[in-house]
Amino acid sequence: MSKDLELAQRCAGAMFAQDRASQAMGMRVEDVAPGYARVSMRLRGEMINGHQTAHGGAVFSLADSAFAFACNSRNVRSVAQHCSITFVTPAQEGELLVAEARETNLGGRFGIYDVMVTTDGGRLVAIFRGHSTSVRGSIVE
């Protein structure tokens, strides 16, 4: 295993251990690498809106968590500066959603990450774009 991959995994582990929101929503970090993260979450009843589909906030939260693990994967503490989401198809209770975040640009203190949220069967649910900015500190020693 490369040092960069090991560092990305250590960062994700340290962040997830403190991430009560992602834990409470039942998210699982499935894979991380420098500038990349894949996170999954099964849609539970309390994540369903009045139209009987996934609440946009639940889908956004999943995408935002994948974005966070990807943009912090190099051990440079980073936070969201701006995020947007486009909902493509509705998701249903019981479906497993998978968010894959990929770094598309990193320059200086700023990064851009695209996150595709799909069902485990591959149907596109949402497209998320996150802009990160680095702040002081690191994730792990």
Predicted local confidence at residue 47, as pLDDT: 98
Element (H, E) at 78: strand 78-87
**Domains of the chain with CATH codes:** 3-134 (3.10.129.10)
Cα dihedral sign, 25-14-63-132:
positive
Phi and psi at residue 4, in whole multiples of 5°?
-65, -40
3-class secondary-structure state, position 82: strand
Tens-digit pLDDT profile for residues 32-78: 999 999 999 999 999 999 999 999 999 999 999 999 999 999 999 99
Predicted local confidence at residue 112, as pLDDT: 98
> Nearest CA to 92 among 129, 128, 58?
58
Predicted local confidence at residue 45, as pLDDT: 98
Tens-digit pLDDT profile for residues 66-125: 999 999 999 999 999 999 999 999 999 999 999 999 999 999 999 999 999 999 999 999
Predicted local confidence at residue 1, as pLDDT: 79
Q: Which residues contact 87 (CB under 8 A, 6 or more apart)?
A: 56, 59, 125, 126
